[in-house]
Amino acid sequence: MKKDPTNGRTCYCGHRRGDPAIHEEPEYSMWGWIVLSMFGVTPRPHHIAFRCAYCREELGQSRDPRLLARRTTPRAA
């Protein structure tokens, strides 16, 4: 049996993690924001926050390396 990562948690609107209304939003450290704003380079996020698109409630965070790697731009060869 697969465990639900949100433990049945819902936002104020009634959405759960995995619903189309829940978005993965990268959160950056202070240095990450500096690199992003000054150089236009997308740094590796500090963590990924799962937020409802309607009520903006955060349902959880993840530091999974696979999720973080998806939010980093690939390096030019």
Q: Which residue has the higher pLDDT, 5 or 13?
A: 13
Show me where the domains of the chain are located: 22-70
String of DSSP letters for 21-69: TEEEEEE--HHHHHHHHHH---PPPSEEEEEETTT--EEEEE--HHHHH
Give the tens place of pLDDT for each residue, 9-56. Answer: 899 999 998 899 999 998 888 888 788 778 877 788 889 999 999 999
Choice between 10 and 7, residue whose per-residue pLDDT is larger = 10
